[in-house]
């Protein structure tokens, strides 16, 4: 399990004990997490707290006709039952319910009226003095429904898709066709086509959604909420409940996994705030694991691909069409097919993307939204195409390497996918592969090797940060970013410590609180770039202040130096031209008599610098599977994932992100699917026993390679983000390996043993 | 979860007496399935009788028949890793360790394992009809999502499977279930303990009102030389069997003296066909003979849509398990499943 | 018309009262705690909601994830599937009892060193489970550790690190035994 890690050298600082960026620093919040002292949303045990338990609809579409609350309210310990019958008048317009990342349409309003729009819709909140009484009371609440006909099956909506509007941030409608895709396909030397399918998938973070609302005596509230964006939740609840920002603080110090599920405020935060405000008492609402299947998910998606090659093995034509579900009330979109127009060089491309409305809840971004789906379809089709053309799948990709982004007609700000192919293949031993299917085996085990890859956006959002440097030499940096396992605490600490030349221990980074400067929602792989740049900027501001004060010190060697003439290292400000001329940072405040220095600033993408470029991260994945010849069981025994994602801030936590992504890809390929019974419009395997994700025994050797990329266009830190890119192509590489092992081409995930018998 | 009271039983007699006079009472030992189902509101006892203080029922000792007596309250983990079980009944050990998780095996008891209820999605979900949960309401699985459902011995009222691994080995080993009831003690042959759904899928087994499992008797024959438990599932561990096979063979050279084959994950009880085992007696241990036995075992199998594949899968699994038991090309320590898990 | 599925026969005018709380004594991390608990309180909820020991996590409440793993008399169990009243007289050890930030146990330190977690939510359960694995003494090879750590799901997918961390401590322990 060795790994090669190469990272760009950091600016001019040279080697010092306070050069932290790119180092495998252990997580600074590690001790809190391994001892259980890190507090998650349902763990703030505030005094006099009530418990809410959610009642969900057993029907998919229709109306509530009666709720019999009386006997339940008579139970000892039951405080109140909230339903559409007694919810106070709240904000009226849709826009008040729209959060920062909501798609187009009309957001679902919990307990708004008697209408049922999807199965497991929350219909009531029972509030009681203990969790157990609330749970019991919820189980005896009688509700009557009138049921209407519904549609939940995308298979029956193949002809009813439509092209969506661009209502959702980050959604790019596919570019218009280029070249002459129909004729080019017709005239191609070799052609393939096929339909690629995966079902719905639910994020299922380990921590279930929960909100603890602390009700303060002055009527203000603090909501400890499971979210990937405290500001997003704050604006959501303040708009709906007519609160001012200082009346509603939202906090999330630790999030037990998000993967996109916490991008939008979930209904438990609405319910908990509602109950707390109405009852003027603190309230906690936790969802159950079953209820974790009652909201957004990766949509069930049908993809159709057609490809053809020229005699020289270059791509003659590429058609990629995708159709997925959305709800009746919101138009969820993600970028599924666009990647196919930019990952390979091809002059004749036709991309299509449609959604169809069903009686389900609105889908929701889930790790590498769109790209995980699209890269599965595209990369399995590429494998089929390579076989049809008689070319090695890796060679085929290299022959069709895209030197520029043909969608945008722009060069890449940096792209080292070729190096990913090369280093990944070398590490994996791809050259020892025999190309024929079923040509490698060991006893009953058929062995297959497959590869694939992917591309993801390198983006940056506006973010702000605040820093306080105190006379004891400690630096506190704050930004309302999120930590859901991505390493935010650690990398921000590294950036801050390195910028001011401090040891890691001297820096504390705090996050996840609307009392701190604003940060974007934690998603899209943009936190390192966005919040990281803000942290660097604010620390640079502190540095300038320190320099000014240092220059006032008696006999200061820094007199007359500008911030560009000095650097911060080992607790000193040093003259870059003569590093032995230095001032000890800790002495500066003591000499000046100031107790602390403060700075607050923000960072924004430099659009002028970025505009000429297409900015993306890439990866190449190589997978080995073993398939039991008779029984059809599949084990992924080896994966090499080579990633080019700009500069890697922390090789330890970044590697973990990619390792986790590979586990997600294995999961997507082999086991993950939420199965709906369309008779009921209900997901039937809505629990952790029957919704399978890998366990320890499923995971074997995973090798992560980071390929060095220097990129000063994406952002000053040169980072591209690492949360999604590692997952791309993993499911496809495994699917391709299964074909190589068995000769069976599976085009529908997950690859259960049924499909290989 | 509904409202209930709890008492900790101090004697078997008293526990049995209380249970037999209160139809809403339930015994609880490990609690791993009962509490799960109570939180889903599927099980709704108003009285729980805790058994864990009945330490006499937690022992593992030799029985008069030359076999081993497994106390009903011995945990699955203590049973699987008991030196006598490992030595004399490695099939049982291997089978237990293929089930659930280390944590659950530390809680779940041998008696409780036999009382496990089906994992049918519809049984677990109050929003859908289920004859097992609510007799007469209908079977949603019959025309629904039935990938994990039965292919043998099902009825038009229920196609649920019984999920235990351990019981598959117990069926192959021809264990005896010892119970204590209001009328005193009695024994039930393992094959008679679980029942097929028929017209009454709500009844899982042949226990009478108030009866408590006190022990499982294993006969002397443990098939410790040639055995295997082959479990096929959707992930490598911590998942219920899609299909499983427990095999015990007694071989003389290449000739089969005695064969036991039990299937899990395919019916409302561990599935054995004694007549098929008899045809193997005296036959040579060849793949052809194994295939013939597998075909005969699955002759009456019926699929319901999503589970059609299990018929062919079960046949192949039987052949593989018989081969594996014959060749014993698997490590013999108690963790053998670690390496033989296909 | 469709009825909300309930715990009652339907049409009830009065419902069975919730059970009353009684005195329950639990020994948690060596400390006896006298608590007022009704029988329907699970050990997990007793720890999190009544004893303010929130290190033990609730990930599914049904024995399907392992986040709630604690040690009872040295053996690992799922605390969500046992009632607090059933655990009187037993020695319960939670993550808080294994080590504190300033005094980490070898497993806790190994989890940090090998980056054996990301979001941290399954981590206390993983560590308690690994402690149970050490106590059992049955897992030595990588394959054995993988299998016997499979009762703990990690959605972040930190299994490579978890394996490395547990293996390191298992190896150190067997050196001591030698």
What confidence tens digit (pLDDT) does each residue in A159-211 have? 999 999 988 989 999 999 999 999 999 999 999 999 999 999 999 999 999 99
- Strands A315-326, A349-357: pairing is parallel
Encode B259-299 in three state secondary structure.
Answer: EEEEEECCCCCCECCHHHHHHHCCCECCHHHHHHHHHHHCC
pLDDT tens-place string over residues A469-482: 999 999 999 999 99
Among A5, A23, A31, A36, the strongest candidate for a mutation testing the C interface, having the largest count of C CBs within 10 A, is: A36
Any C CB within 8 A of B50 CB: yes
Looking at residue A695, its pLDDT comes to 98
Any B CB within 8 A of C77 CB: yes
C132 and B106 in contact by Cβ < 8 A? yes
- B336: closest chain C residue by CA: C144
Domain end position, chosen among C97, C118, C141:
C97
Looking at residue C12, its pLDDT comes to 59
User: Which residues on A lie below 8 Å from B3 (Cβ)?
Assistant: 136
C82 and B127 in contact by Cβ < 8 A? no
Going by pLDDT thresholds of 50, 70 and 90, the confidence category of residue A230 is very high
- A630: closest chain B residue by CA: B316
Residue B119 has pLDDT above 60, yes or no: yes
Residue B44 has pLDDT above 50, yes or no: yes
| Cα separation values, B193 from A320, A336, B208, B216, Å | 57, 54, 11, 11
- B338: closest chain A residue by CA: A697
Does C92 lie in the same domain as C27? yes
Looking at residue B223, its pLDDT comes to 98
Going by pLDDT thresholds of 50, 70 and 90, the confidence category of residue A1 is very low
Tell which residue, A228, A276, A260, has the closest CA to residue A50. A276
Does C33 lie in the same domain as C79? yes
Residue C16 lies in a domain: no
Spatial distance between the Cα atoms of A310 and A184, rounded to a whole number of angstroms: 9
Does C137 lie in the same domain as C76? no
User: Which residues on B lie below 8 Å from A753 (Cβ)?
Assistant: 232, 234, 242, 309, 313
- Residue ranges of the domains in chain B? 5-52, 226-335
Measured in angstroms, the CA of C92 and the nearest CA of chain A are apart by 16
Looking at residue C7, its pLDDT comes to 79
pLDDT tens-place string over residues B325-341: 999 865 444 344 444 45
C117 and A1 in contact by Cβ < 8 A? no
C144 and B107 in contact by Cβ < 8 A? no
Does C110 lie in the same domain as C91? no
Measured in angstroms, the CA of B52 and the nearest CA of chain C are apart by 8
Residue with the bigger pLDDT between B334 and A333: it is A333
Looking at residue A166, its pLDDT comes to 86
Spatial distance between the Cα atoms of B140 and B160, rounded to a whole number of angstroms: 10
Cis preceding linkage at A750, omega within 30 = yes
A679 and B143 in contact by Cβ < 8 A? yes
Any A CB within 8 A of C141 CB: no
The minimal CB distance from A141 to the residues C4, C112, C118 is found for C4
Q: Which chains touch C (3 or more CB pairs under 8 A)?
A: A, B
Round to the nearest angstrom and report the end-to-end CA distance of chain C: 70
Looking at residue A389, its pLDDT comes to 98
Residue A542 lies in a domain: yes
- C145: closest chain B residue by CA: B338
The minimal CB distance from B316 to the residues A631, A694, A697 is found for A631
Q: Which residue, chain included where needed, has tokens 């899609």?
A: B242
What length is written for chain B? 342
Residue C30 lies in a domain: yes
User: Which residues on B lie below 8 Å from C166 (Cβ)?
Assistant: none
Q: Which residue, chain included where needed, has tokens 């709630």?
A: C68
C136 and B102 in contact by Cβ < 8 A? yes
The minimal CB distance from A71 to the residues C15, C52, C154 is found for C15
The minimal CB distance from A132 to the residues C5, C41, C157 is found for C41
Residue with the bigger pLDDT between C177 and B281: it is B281
Domain end position, chosen among C97, C118, C142:
C97
pLDDT tens-place string over residues A364-408: 999 999 999 999 999 999 999 999 999 999 999 999 999 999 999
Residue A8 has pLDDT above 60, yes or no: no
Residue A495 has pLDDT above 70, yes or no: yes
C128 phi/psi in degrees, rounded to 5: -60, -40
pLDDT tens-place string over residues C48-60: 999 999 999 999 9
Residue C117 lies in a domain: yes
Any A CB within 8 A of C9 CB: no
Residue A5 has pLDDT above 50, yes or no: no
The correct CATH number of B226-335 out of 3.30.390.50, 3.30.450.40, 1.10.3210.50, 3.80.10.10 is 3.30.390.50
Residue C115 has pLDDT above 80, yes or no: yes
User: Which residues on B lie below 8 Å from C18 (Cβ)?
Assistant: 3
Domain B5-52: assigned CATH number: 3.30.43.10
What length is written for chain A? 757
pLDDT tens-place string over residues A648-663: 999 999 999 999 999 9
User: Which residues on A lie below 8 Å from B316 (Cβ)?
Assistant: 630-631, 757
Does C125 lie in the same domain as C92? no
Spatial distance between the Cα atoms of A43 and C53, rounded to a whole number of angstroms: 9
Full-model pTM? 0.97
Residue B231 has pLDDT above 80, yes or no: yes
Going by pLDDT thresholds of 50, 70 and 90, the confidence category of residue B5 is very high
Tell which residue, A689, A679, A711, A674, has the closest CA to residue A529. A711
Looking at residue C178, its pLDDT comes to 64
Measured in angstroms, the CA of C66 and the nearest CA of chain A are apart by 10
User: Which residues on A lie below 8 Å from C150 (Cβ)?
Assistant: 695-697
Any A CB within 8 A of C57 CB: yes
Return the beta strands (E) in A422-542 as ranges: 441-442, 445-457, 463-470, 475-479, 507-511
Measured in angstroms, the CA of C82 and the nearest CA of chain B are apart by 6
Strand order in the sheet with B47-50: B5-8, B47-50, B25-28
Domain end position, chosen among C71, C97, C123:
C97
CA angle A215, A217, A222 (to 5 degrees): 30
- The percent of residues above 90 in pLDDT, for chain A, comes to 96
Domain hosting C128: range is: 106-172
Residue C6 lies in a domain: no
Looking at residue B319, its pLDDT comes to 97
pLDDT tens-place string over residues A19-55: 999 999 999 999 999 999 999 999 999 999 999 999 9
Residue A756 lies in a domain: no
User: Which residues on A lie below 8 Å from B39 (Cβ)?
Assistant: 135
A485 and C119 in contact by Cβ < 8 A? yes
Q: What is the ipTM of this complex?
A: 0.97
Does C148 lie in the same domain as C120? yes
Q: Is the dihedral of CA B9, B12, B14, B16 positive or negative?
A: positive
Residue A391 lies in a domain: no
Cβ proximity of A410 and A613 under 8 Å: yes
Number of domains in chain A: 1
- C106: closest chain A residue by CA: A34
Does C160 lie in the same domain as C128? yes
Q: Which residue, chain included where needed, has tokens 């099980």?
A: B43
B44 and C7 in contact by Cβ < 8 A? yes
Q: Residue range A482-491: average pLDDT? A: 96
Does C91 lie in the same domain as C117? no
Residue C10 lies in a domain: no
Measured in angstroms, the CA of A693 and the nearest CA of chain C are apart by 8
Any A CB within 8 A of C122 CB: yes
pLDDT tens-place string over residues A656-703: 999 999 999 999 999 999 999 999 999 999 999 999 999 999 999 999
Domain hosting A520: range is: 30-38+460-604
Among C66, C80, C156, C167, the strongest candidate for a mutation testing the A interface, having the largest count of A CBs within 10 A, is: C156
pLDDT tens-place string over residues B139-159: 999 999 999 999 999 999 999
Residue A270 lies in a domain: no
**Residue pairs between chains B and C whose CB atoms are closer than 8 Å:** 109
Chain-wide mean pLDDT for chain A?
Answer: 96
CATH code (residue C150):
1.10.150.120
Residue A208 lies in a domain: no
Spatial distance between the Cα atoms of A186 and A308, rounded to a whole number of angstroms: 8
Q: With H, G, I as helix, E, B as strand and everything else as coil, classify residue A283.
A: strand
Number of domains in chain C: 2
A58 and B124 in contact by Cβ < 8 A? no
Does C110 lie in the same domain as C93? no
Measured in angstroms, the CA of A228 and the nearest CA of chain C are apart by 12
- The percent of residues above 70 in pLDDT, for chain C, comes to 96
Any C CB within 8 A of B103 CB: yes
Chain-wide mean pLDDT for chain C?
Answer: 95
Q: Which chains touch A (3 or more CB pairs under 8 A)?
A: B, C
Residue C11 lies in a domain: no
The minimal CB distance from B235 to the residues A685, A687, A698 is found for A698
Going by pLDDT thresholds of 50, 70 and 90, the confidence category of residue C174 is confident
Q: Is the dihedral of CA A165, A171, A176, A177 positive or negative?
A: negative
Cβ proximity of A502 and A585 under 8 Å: yes
Weakest-pLDDT range from A712-716, B276-280, C94-98: A712-716
pLDDT tens-place string over residues B156-204: 999 999 999 999 999 999 999 999 999 999 999 999 999 999 999 999 9
User: Which residues on A lie below 8 Å from C38 (Cβ)?
Assistant: 130, 132
CATH code (residue A550):
3.30.365.10
pLDDT tens-place string over residues A243-302: 999 999 999 999 999 999 999 999 999 999 999 999 999 999 999 999 999 999 999 999
- C39: closest chain A residue by CA: A132
What are the residue numbers of the active site of A?
A: 724
The minimal CB distance from B127 to the residues C5, C61, C81 is found for C5
């Amino acid at each position: 399990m060795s790994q090669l890690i190469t990272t760009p050298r950091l600016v001019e600082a040279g080697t010092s004990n306070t050069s932290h960026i790119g180092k495998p620093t252990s997580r600074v919040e590690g001790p809190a997490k391994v001892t259980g002292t890190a507090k998650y949303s349902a763990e703030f045990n505030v005094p006099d707290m009530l418990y809410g338990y959610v009642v969900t609809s057993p029907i998919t579409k229709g109306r509530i006709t009666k709720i019999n609350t009386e006997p339940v309210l008579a139970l000892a310990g039951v405080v109140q039952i909230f339903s559409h019958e007694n919810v106070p008048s709240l904000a009226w317009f849709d826009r008040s319910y729209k959060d920062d990342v909501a798609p187009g349409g009309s957001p679902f309003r919990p307990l708004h009226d008697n209408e049922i729009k999807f199965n497991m819709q929350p219909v009531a909140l029972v509030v009681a003095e203990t969790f157990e009484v609330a749970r019991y009371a919820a189980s005896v609440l009688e509700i009557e429904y009138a049921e209407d006909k519904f549609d939940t099956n995308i298979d029956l909506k193949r002809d009813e898709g439509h092209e969506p509007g661009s209502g959702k941030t980050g959604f790019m409608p596919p570019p218009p066709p280029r070249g002459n895709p129909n004729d080019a396909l017709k005239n191609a030397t070799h052609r393939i086509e096929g339909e690629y399918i995966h079902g719905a998938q639910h994020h299922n973070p380990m921590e279930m959604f929960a909100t603890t609302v602390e009700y303060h005596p002055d009527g203000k509230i603090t909501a400890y909420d499971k979210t990937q964006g405290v500001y997003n939740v704050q604006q959501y609840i303040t708009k709906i409940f007519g609160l001012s920002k200082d009346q509603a603080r939202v906090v999330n110090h630790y999030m037990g996994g998000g993967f996109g599920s916490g991008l939008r405020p979930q209904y438990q935060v609405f319910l908990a705030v509602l109950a707390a405000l109405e009852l003027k008492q603190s309230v906690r609402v936790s969802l159950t694991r079953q209820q974790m299947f009652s909201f957004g998910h990766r949509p069930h998606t049908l993809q159709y691909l057609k490809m053809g090659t020229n005699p020289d093995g270059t791509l003659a034509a590429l058609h990629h069409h995708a159709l997925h579900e959305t709800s009746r009330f919101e138009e969820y979109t993600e970028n599924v097919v666009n990647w196919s127009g930019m990952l390979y060089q091809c002059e004749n491309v036709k991309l299509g993307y449609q959604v169809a409305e069903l009686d389900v809840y609105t889908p929701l971004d889930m790790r590498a939204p769109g790209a995980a789906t699209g890269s599965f379809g595209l990369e399995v089709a590429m494998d089929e195409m390579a076989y049809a053309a008689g070319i090695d799948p890796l060679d085929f990709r290299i022959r069709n390497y895209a030197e520029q982004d043909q969608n945008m007609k722009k060069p890449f700000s940096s792209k080292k996918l070729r190096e990913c192919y090369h280093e990944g293949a070398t590490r994996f031993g791809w050259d020892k592969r025999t190309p024929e299917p079923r040509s490698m085996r060991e006893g009953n085990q058929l062995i297959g090797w497959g590869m694939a890859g992917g591309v993801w956006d390198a983006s940056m959002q506006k973010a702000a940060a605040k820093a306080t440097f105190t006379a004891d030499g400690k630096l506190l940096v704050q930004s309302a970013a999120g930590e859901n396992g991505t390493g935010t605490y650690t990398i921000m600490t590294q950036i801050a410590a390195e910028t001011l030349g401090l040891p890691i221990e001297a820096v504390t980074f705090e996050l996840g609180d609307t009392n701190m400067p604003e940060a974007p929602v934690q998603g899209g792989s943009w936190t390192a770039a966005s919040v990281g740049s803000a942290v660097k900027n604010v620390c640079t501001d502190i540095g300038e202040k320190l320099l000014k004060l240092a220059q006032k010190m008696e006999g200061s060697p820094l007199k007359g130096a500008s911030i560009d003439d000095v650097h911060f290292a080992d607790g000193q400000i040093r003259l870059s031209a003569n590093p032995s001329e230095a001032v000890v940072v800790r002495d500066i405040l003591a000499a000046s008599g100031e107790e602390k220095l403060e700075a607050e600033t923000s960072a924004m993408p430099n659009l002028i610098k970025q505009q000429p470029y297409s900015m993306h991260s890439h990866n190449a994945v190589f997978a080995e599977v073993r398939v039991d010849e008779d029984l059809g069981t599949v084990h992924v025994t080896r994966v090499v994932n080579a990633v080019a994602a700009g500069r890697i801030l922390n090789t330890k936590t970044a590697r973990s992100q990619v390792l986790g992504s590979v586990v997600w890809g294995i999961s997507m390929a082999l086991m993950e699917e939420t199965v709906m019974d369309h008779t009921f419009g209900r997901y039937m395997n809505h629990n952790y026993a029957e919704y399978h994700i890998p366990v320890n025994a499923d995971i074997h050797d995973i090798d992560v390679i980071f390929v060095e990329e220097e990129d000063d266009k994406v952002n000053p830190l040169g980072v591209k983000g690492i949360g999604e890119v590692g997952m791309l192509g993993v499911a496809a590489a495994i699917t391709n390996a299964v074909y190589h092992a068995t000769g069976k081409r599976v085009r529908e995930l997950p690859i259960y043993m049924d499909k290989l018998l | 979860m509904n409202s209930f009271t709890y008492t900790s039983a101090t004697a078997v007699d008293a526990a049995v007496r209380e249970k037999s006079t209160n139809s809403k009472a339930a015994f609880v030992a490990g609690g791993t399935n009962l509490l799960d189902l109570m939180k889903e509101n599927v099980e709704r006892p108003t009285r729980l009788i805790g058994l864990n203080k009945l330490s006499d029922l937690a022992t593992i000792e030799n029985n008069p028949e030359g076999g081993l007596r497994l106390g009903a309250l011995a945990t699955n983990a203590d049973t699987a890793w008991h030196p006598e079980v490992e030595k004399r009944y490695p099939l049982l050990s291997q089978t237990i360790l293929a089930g659930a998780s280390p944590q659950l095996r530390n809680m779940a008891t041998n008696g409780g394992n036999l009382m496990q209820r089906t994992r049918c999605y519809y049984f677990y979900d109050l929003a859908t009809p289920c004859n097992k949960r609510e007799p007469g309401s209908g079977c949603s699985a019959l025309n629904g999502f039935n990938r994990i459902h039965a292919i043998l011995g099902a009825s038009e009222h229920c196609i649920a499977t019984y999920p235990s691994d351990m019981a598959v080995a117990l069926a192959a080993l021809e264990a005896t279930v010892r119970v204590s009831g209001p009328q005193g003690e009695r024994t039930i042959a393992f094959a008679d303990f679980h029942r097929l759904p028929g017209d009454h899928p709500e009844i899982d087994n042949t226990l009478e009102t108030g009866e408590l499992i006190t022990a499982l008797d294993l006969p002397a024959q443990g098939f410790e030389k040639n055995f295997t438990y082959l479990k096929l599932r959707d992930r490598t561990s911590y998942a219920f069997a899609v299909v499983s096979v427990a095999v015990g063979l007694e071989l003389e050279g290449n000739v089969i003296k005695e064969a036991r084959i039990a299937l899990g994950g395919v019916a409302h009880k561990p599935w054995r066909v004694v007549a098929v085992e008899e045809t193997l007696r005296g036959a040579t241990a060849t793949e052809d003979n194994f295939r013939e036995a597998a075909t005969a075992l699955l002759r009456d199998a019926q699929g319901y849509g999503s589970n059609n594949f299990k018929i062919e899968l079960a046949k192949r699994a039987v052949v593989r398990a018989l081969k594996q038991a014959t060749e014993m090309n698997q490590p013999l320590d108690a963790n053998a499943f670690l390496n033989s898990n296909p | 018309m469709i009825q909300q599925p309930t715990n009652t026969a339907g049409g009830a005018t009065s419902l069975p009262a919730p059970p009353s709380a009684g005195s329950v004594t639990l020994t948690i991390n060596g400390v006896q705690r006298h608590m007022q608990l009704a029988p329907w309180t699970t050990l997990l909820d007793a720890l999190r909601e009544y004893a303010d020991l929130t290190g033990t996590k609730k990930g599914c409440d049904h024995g399907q994830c392992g986040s709630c793993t604690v040690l009872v008399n040295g053996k690992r169990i799922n605390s969500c599937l046992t009632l607090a009243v059933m655990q009187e007289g037993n020695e319960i050890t939670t993550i808080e009892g294994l080590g504190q930030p300033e005094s980490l146990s070898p497993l806790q330190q190994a989890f940090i060193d090998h980056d054996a977690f990301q979001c941290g939510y399954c981590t206390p359960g993983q560590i308690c489970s690994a402690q149970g694995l050490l106590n059992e003494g049955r897992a030595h090879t990588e394959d054995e550790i993988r299998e016997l750590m499979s009762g703990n799901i990690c959605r972040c997918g930190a299994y490579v690190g978890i394996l490395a961390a547990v293996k390191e401590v298992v190896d150190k322990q067997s050196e001591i035994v030698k």
